[in-house]
Amino acid sequence: MKKIGFIGLGIMGRPMAKNLIDAGYELVVSDLNEDAVSELEEYGAASADTPKAITEQSEVIITMLPNSPHVKAVALGENGIIEGVSEGDVFIDMSSISPLMSQEVGEALLEKGVESLDAPVSGGQEGAEAGTVAFMVGGKEEVFEAHKEILEVMGGSVTLVGNLGAGQTTKLVNQVIVGINIAAVAEGLSLGKKAGVDPENIFNAIRGGLAGSQCMEDKAPRMLEGNYDPGFKMKLHVKDLTNAFETSRDLHNYMPLAAQVMEMMQKLMADGHTEVDHGGMGLFYEKLNNISLKK
């Protein structure tokens, strides 16, 4: 098995790294959170202080970071991945970032003889822990096929969608659809509650029909319980939508529904709900309609 460097042990990265260790892979890890690093060390990983040092000890380097600037700094900055790579290494970025940034980093690493895959995921913390996240991968087919097994350890679905950057584009599409879907679930349940019908009964009645979706299955119960502990934080969805709008503007593409959802999320964040789950869209409708969706 190839030795893996894993950089980024946050809410998603930590359980995904553990899944790799459980599968028998040897990991060298790094994160700004020393507690997260200690936890992985106790789980069986080694650690190093810099991305360069991680890379010098690894054949495959995986990153799971918050946004484009973080990936660029870790990959191309001082003591970054690019300073420690050897020809033949492979870089897999599982962060959700701008497609253009994926391509920029990939092109720089390719000059060092390093191939790249952009492999953002969908599935949240629960999926990361269970190893069932969906990977949307961009890159060369031969590189994908050679490293698909690593991704399958962490995900239930691993799909090559195109060249480098295509994975990030697909993730942006995913986040647009998810955001609109969550808002639709909250809006519909709010109407039912306002009309005097139990939202839980509504959920159970429609979940098996055309209105049913994975978003409804995951987020409606949270709304009914008033449980917005983060599986995927509101602020991260806003970050993803920001990347989607930047890409959309470059393409002169119109996204009015996503724009409305973004305004709702911005209002929630302004009200102090930055760290809640993105299912917290229910809170927006509760306040707007002066109701509670809790059963």
Confidence check: pLDDT of 295 > 90: no
Query: Would strands 27-30 and 60-63 be described as parallel, antiparallel, or unpaired?
Result: unpaired
Q: For residues 138 and 146, give the distance between their C-alpha atoms in angstroms, rounded to a whole number.
A: 14
Question: 169-289, which class in CATH?
Answer: mainly alpha
Domain ranges of the chain: 4-162, 169-289
Angle subtended at Cα 64 by Cα 255 and Cα 59, rounded to the nearest 5 degrees: 130
pLDDT in tens, 193-229: 999 999 999 999 999 999 999 999 999 999 999 999 9
Query: Is 295 in a helix, a strand, or coil?
Result: coil
Model confidence at 281: pLDDT above 90? yes
pLDDT digits (tens, 9 = 90+) for 137-191: 999 999 999 999 999 999 999 999 999 999 999 999 999 999 999 999 999 999 9
User: Please, which residues bridge with residue 269 across strands?
Assistant: none
DSSP 277: B
3-state secondary structure of 79: coil
**The predicted structure's pLDDT at residue 1:** 81
Rg value, the chain, Cα:
20
Phi and psi angles of residue 77, each rounded to the nearest 5 degrees, phi first? -80, -175
Average pLDDT over residues 226-233: 92
Residue tagged 């949240």 (tokens): 124
For residue range 243-272, list pLDDT tens digits in order.
999 999 999 999 999 999 999 999 999 999
> Residue 277: pLDDT band by 50, 70, 90 thresholds?
very high
Residue 231: the pLDDT is 85
Catalytic residue among 18, 52, 171, 233, which?
A: 171
Give the mean pLDDT of 19-28: 98
pLDDT tens by residue, 78-130: 999 999 999 999 999 999 999 999 999 999 999 999 999 999 999 888 899 99
pLDDT of residue 181: 98
Per-residue model confidence (pLDDT) at position 196: 97
Rounded to 10°, the helix 256-270/166-194 angle is 70
Q: Rounded distance, CA 160 to CA 127, Å?
A: 19
Query: Which superfamily does CATH assign the domain made up of 4-162 to?
Result: NAD(P)-binding Rossmann-like Domain (3.40.50.720)
140 is catalytic: no
